[in-house]
């Protein structure tokens, strides 16, 4: 029904009456416009205030993580140094300083003051307690006062040291005045210490008893609080917020950690907490000034007021021409509700749904064309009937009636024919010809919601199989962990197809895709209601089975394995049998994390592959599993280091022990030693990652990187440049068994123009005798080209002397275990003497490894050993082209 049918007929007025009415109408329009502007400005201000409060909460939420970052960096630096002690606990000030230079702790840790090592001295402290006296400090300049300081004189320090030792975790001290800055302002002189226990040489201790037995001291990093926290919190947190940090576990006089500046009195604070190293820090934040952005509000007020005044002036211009004034009034009436006819002119053209309802009975008195097309015959119908949810509609109309507006929300709108669609709707109370009405404006959002849902589905599902992808699977697993308390256990299955790469390589990726589709179709038939199957990667799947015990989970996993095994895939005349290795983890206890579960499932799956594939293995926490998980982590870190060119080379000189003779080789001889640099700058020795590289088949790639990089930068390995007499490179057993190794080495020698006579390739005795025929063939080919061959770790095997006559080698390197015990073990002396005599009878050079004392040197010279290698003769140094001042000159080998 047309809107005007519900309105009384307007009386006709003369030209004079219209002119006299113009000022009144202009004033009315201006007042309505200013009122409308005030409503808009208020809404804008409320939104700006909500945004400001959200920003304050966001800054407060971010502050603990920002404070924690420098503490974590300090702990990582200590952990790296702890690893050094585990591999070599024979330390002195010079070696300690050298490692600290390599770790670049000063650059990595904000607020860094010093790193120190405190030796544990049983019985040297307070009665019944050990002393922990600082022995090594870096940098020494400015920190001399720390040497000899016993950090165990304070009971709370001793308790923290014991807790850190037992947990092998960092401990954080309470704030205290730093001795090095006693002349500074009180806030500038305050600092903290992060400590970590140090254990004797060997594997990382895993139990409290072993940790206590092997404790030899503690490492510490001291930090200045003011610069550390200023840099950690710089930016919007300190720009927009007052901040106070207190240590909840410290004595009242020590509790103050940081205060940004004068704090507001009586204002409510945002309070957050940060836990680290056994201590709790409380962060209290206040906004510095009002963070409400009033620019938009002022803009609305200015624009609305201007428009209102201009509209009033336009109304006054009616006095010139009644016809012109009436035309102008029709165009402007939709904004200010002057008359029903002019209200319709503009709204009929709008694509949005516009409806006007009487505020007393709630019935629609006007609907524009878009509303009539979407909703059918709406005039006369109750406005409430358009809401698919009557309760929501009632709240919306009540809010509009009481507050004057109901903010835009997504609602389901019901059409006359029973159909419904999603729309973004808003309601406002307006005055039309002196009567109160409810104005509803809505926009159809059905297509937008469908597009959003489609994008959400695509983001959470694999495009090929339509299964959940890894991201969605991990999200659902995280949800299951968060809601696990009090619920039945569930199982995580990690399914890895066996030999899937073979199908891809033989028949192409299209065949592989088709196989995956068929497998997923078969696996879906074996799922129970509520189970979640997802594709985690190329040929990897995950399955969450809820409300199962161990027996049910094993039965489900075995059924899934048989299902996959039963798929016979045929492609272009070829048939393929498929199988899968499945790792299973039972989630039946609290405290598990997403990372833990995925790592455990991957470890169990790897165990299934090691046991022969096509089987199910359940994860069990034991020493072998722990070692395997650690090796898997190191294998991944090594892969990333290879990809990011983060492997390093050190050299150690091999020094002549006897006066020069006619057969001696003049010049400098070195052996290259491999290191791995983490992204944070931590450098690890090969003992940390080589076992994982050997287990996961990465050694051929590592060896090729070392060979290619060394030959490409041969003149930049050692200060003597291209005059280097011999450069020794270690070869692994996996590389020796690589048929293309000799071609790769000889090709690199030719490509970079390095004389083959300057290259010595070291092969361990155990590798040499494991596959004698193949090793001899490789050795003879490389020796024919001019390379020298060294037999490393000689004497460690069971039949060393018997195999020696069959191996074409030039150098024998005596296993370091015999050299290390040379001064105290007569048997070691006899073995070294025998090796030297037999080696010389065969015309070979004899090298002793692990030479670490003057007495050992004297015995080696007495026995006629030609060369020595060890810390007493030369400590490893970084090759020239990888040093900070020479890195640009080095060339990376792809």
- Using the CB atoms, write b or e for 30-60: b if 16+ within 10 Å: bebbbebbebbbeebbeebbeebeebbeebb
- Tell me, what's the pLDDT at 102? 61
The predicted structure's pLDDT at residue 20: 46
Please give the pLDDT value at position 889. Answer: 40
Over residues 515-527, the mean pLDDT reads: 89
For 801, list phi and psi in degrees, rounded to 5: -70, -30
This prediction has a pTM of: 0.40
Distance CA 55, CA 48 (A): 10
Supply the pLDDT for residue 589: 81
- Cβ atoms of 651 and 718 within 8 Å: the answer is yes
Question: Per-residue pLDDT for 630 more than 80?
Answer: no
Mean pLDDT within 609-633: 75
Stretch (H or E) spanning 518 = helix 509-524
Query: What pLDDT is attached to residue 634?
Result: 83
First to last CA, the chain: 79
pLDDT tens string 392-409: 888 888 888 787 778 778
pLDDT of 10 above 80: no
pLDDT in tens, 799-845: 456 567 778 899 999 988 888 888 788 888 888 998 899 889 888 99
Q: pLDDT grade, residue 726 (50/70/90)?
A: very high
Average pLDDT of the segment spanning 238-258 = 86
Give the pLDDT confidence score for residue 26 in this predicted structure. 65
pLDDT at residue 884, rounded to an integer: 84
Give the per-residue pLDDT at 324. Answer: 46
Range in 419-433, 472-486, 725-739 the model is least confident about: 419-433
Per residue in 371-390, pLDDT (tens digit) is: 888 887 677 888 888 888 88
Q: So what's the pLDDT on residue 12?
A: 43
Question: What DSSP string runs through 94-133?
Answer: HHHHHHHHHHTHHHHSTTEEEEEEEEEETTSSSTTS-EEE
Q: Which range has the top average pLDDT, 92-96, 162-166, 557-561?
A: 557-561
Task: Give the range among 252-266, 539-553, 810-824, 861-875 with minimum mean pLDDT.
Answer: 252-266
Please say if the pLDDT value at position 698 is more than 90.
no
pLDDT tier at 333 (50, 70, 90 boundaries)?
very low
The most confident of the ranges 397-406, 589-598, 699-708, 824-833 is 699-708
Q: Would you say residue 92 has pLDDT above 80?
A: yes
pLDDT at 330 over 70: no
Q: What pLDDT, on a 0 to 100 scale, did the predictor assign at position 16?
A: 45
The DSSP call for residue 8 is P
Helix pair 15-87, 295-316: axis angle to 10 deg: 170
Please give the pLDDT value at position 15.
Answer: 43
DSSP state of 216: E
pLDDT for residue 880? 94
Kindly report the average pLDDT of the chain as a whole number. 81
* Long-range contacts, stretch 179-184, CB < 8 angstroms, 24+ apart: 179/145, 179/146, 180/113, 180/114, 180/142, 180/143, 180/145, 181/224
In DSSP terms, 496 is beta-bridged to: 540, 581
d(CA 783, CA 477): 57
Q: How much is the average pLDDT of 22-26?
A: 63
Q: What is the pLDDT of residue 159?
A: 79
Q: What is the pLDDT of residue 787?
A: 94
Q: Is the pLDDT of residue 768 over 80?
A: no
Q: What is the average pLDDT across 165-170?
A: 89
Give pLDDT tens digits for 493-518: 999 998 787 787 777 788 888 888 88
* Distance from C-alpha of 258 to C-alpha of 226, rounded to nearest angstrom: 7
**pLDDT greater than 90 at residue 756:** yes
pLDDT band of 441, cuts 50, 70, 90: confident
With tokens 């998980």, the residue in question is 629
Q: Per mean pLDDT, which range of 571-585, 731-745, 788-802, 848-862 is the poorest? A: 788-802
pLDDT tens for each residue of 176-187 = 888 777 665 656
Indicate the pLDDT class of residue 793, thresholds 50, 70 and 90: confident
What are the counts of helices (DSSP H) followed by strands (DSSP E) for the chain?
30, 32
Q: Is the pLDDT of residue 11 over 60?
A: no
- Give the pLDDT score at 342: 54
Ordered alpha helix ranges (H), 204-348: 208-214, 225-232, 236-240, 295-316, 322-336, 340-347
């Amino acid at each position: 029904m047309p809107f005007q049918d519900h309105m009384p007929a307007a009386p006709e007025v003369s030209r004079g009456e219209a002119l006299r009415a113009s000022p009144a109408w202009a004033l009315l329009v201006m007042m309505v416009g200013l009122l409308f502007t005030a409503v808009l400005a208020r809404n804008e201000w409320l939104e700006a205030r909500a945004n400001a409060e959200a920003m304050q909460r966001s800054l407060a939420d971010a502050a603990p993580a920002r404070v924690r970052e420098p503490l974590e960096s300090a702990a990582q630096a200590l952990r790296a140094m702890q690893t050094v002690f585990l591999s070599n606990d024979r330390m002195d000030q010079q070696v300690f300083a050298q490692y600290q230079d390599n770790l670049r702790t000063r650059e990595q840790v904000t607020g860094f003051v010093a790193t120190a090592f405190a030796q544990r001295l049983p019985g040297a402290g307070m009665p019944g307690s050990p002393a922990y006296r600082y022995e090594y400090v870096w940098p020494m300049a400015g920190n001399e006062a720390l040497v000899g300081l016993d950090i165990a004189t304070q009971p709370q320090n001793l308790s923290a040291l014991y807790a850190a030792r037992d947990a092998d975790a960092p401990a954080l001290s309470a704030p205290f005045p730093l001795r090095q800055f006693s002349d500074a302002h009180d806030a500038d002189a305050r600092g903290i210490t992060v400590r970590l226990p140090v254990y004797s040489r060997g594997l990382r201790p895993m139990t409290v008893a072993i940790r206590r037995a092997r404790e030899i001291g503690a490492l510490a990093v001291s930090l200045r609080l003011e610069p550390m926290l200023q840099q950690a919190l710089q930016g919007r947190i300190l720009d927009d917020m007052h901040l106070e940090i207190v240590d909840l576990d410290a004595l009242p006089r020590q509790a103050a950690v940081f205060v940004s500046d004068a704090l507001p009195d009586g204002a409510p604070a945002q309070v957050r907490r940060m836990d680290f190293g056994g201590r709790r820090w409380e962060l209290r934040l206040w906004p510095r000034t009002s963070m409400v952005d009033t620019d938009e509000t002022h803009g609305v007020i200015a624009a609305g007021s201007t428009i209102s005044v201009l509209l009033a002036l336009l109304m006054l211009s009616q006095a010139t021409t009644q016809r012109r004034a009436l035309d102008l009034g029709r165009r402007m009436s939709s904004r200010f509700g002057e008359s029903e006819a002019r209200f319709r002119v503009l709204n009929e053209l709008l694509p949005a749904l516009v409806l006007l309802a009487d505020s007393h009975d709630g019935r629609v008195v006007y609907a524009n064309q878009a509303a009539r097309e979407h909703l059918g015959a709406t005039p006369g119908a109750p406005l409430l009937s358009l809401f698919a949810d009557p309760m929501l509609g009632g709240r919306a109309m009540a809010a509009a009636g009481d507050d004057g507006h109901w903010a835009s929300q997504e609602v389901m709108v019901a059409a006359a024919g029973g159909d419904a669609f999603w729309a973004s709707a808003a309601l406002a109370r307006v005055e039309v010809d002196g009567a109160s009405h409810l104005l509803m404006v809505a926009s159809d959002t059905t297509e937008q919601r469908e597009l959003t849902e489609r994008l959400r589905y695509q983001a959470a599902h694999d495009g090929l199989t339509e299964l959940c992808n890894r991201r969605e699977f991990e999200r659902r697993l995280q949800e299951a962990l968060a809601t696990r308390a009090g619920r039945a256990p569930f199982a995580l299955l990690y399914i890895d197809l066996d030999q899937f790469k073979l199908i891809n390589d033989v028949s192409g990726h299209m065949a592989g895709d088709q196989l995956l589709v068929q497998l997923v179709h078969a696996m879906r038939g074996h799922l129970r209601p509520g189970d979640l199957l997802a594709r985690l990667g190329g040929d990897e799947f995950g399955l969450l089975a809820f409300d199962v015990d161990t027996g049910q989970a094993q039965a489900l996993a075995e059924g899934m394995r048989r299902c996959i095994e039963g798929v016979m895939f045929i492609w272009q005349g070829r048939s393929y049998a498929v199988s899968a290795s499945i790792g299973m983890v039972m989630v039946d206890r609290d405290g598990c994390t997403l990372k833990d579960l995925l790592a455990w499932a991957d470890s169990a799956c790897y165990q299934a592959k090691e046991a022969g594939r096509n089987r199910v293995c359940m994860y069990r926490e034991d020493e072998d599993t722990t070692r395997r998980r650690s090796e898997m982590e190191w294998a991944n870190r090594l892969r990333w280091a290879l990809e990011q060119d983060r492997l390093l080379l050190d050299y150690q000189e091999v020094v002549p022990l006897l006066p020069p003779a006619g057969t001696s080789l003049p010049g400098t001889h070195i052996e290259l030693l491999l290191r791995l640099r983490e992204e944070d700058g931590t450098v690890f020795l090969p003992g940390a990652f080589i076992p994982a590289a050997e287990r996961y088949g990465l050694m051929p790639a590592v060896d090729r990187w070392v060979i290619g990089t060394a030959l490409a930068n041969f003149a930049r390995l050692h200060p003597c440049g291209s005059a280097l007499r011999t450069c020794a490179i270690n070869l692994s057993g996996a590389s020796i068994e690589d048929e293309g190794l000799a071609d790769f080495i000889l090709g690199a020698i030719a490509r970079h123009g390095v004389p083959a006579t300057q290259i010595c390739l070291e092969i361990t005795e155990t590798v040499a005798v494991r596959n004698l025929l193949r090793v001899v063939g490789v050795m003879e080919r490389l020796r024919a080209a001019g390379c020298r061959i060294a037999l490393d770790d000689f004497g460690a095997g069971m039949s060393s002397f018997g195999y020696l006559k069959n191996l074409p080698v030039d150098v024998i390197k005596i296993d370091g275990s015999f050299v290390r015990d040379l001064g105290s073990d007569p048997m070691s002396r006899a073995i070294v003497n025998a090796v030297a005599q037999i080696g010389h009878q065969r015309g070979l050079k004899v090298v002793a490894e692990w030479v670490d004392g003057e007495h050992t040197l004297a015995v080696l010279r007495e026995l006629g050993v030609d060369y020595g290698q060890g810390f007493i003769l030369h400590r490893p140094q970084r090759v020239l082209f990888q040093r900070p001042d020479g890195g640009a000159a080095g060339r990376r080998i792809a």
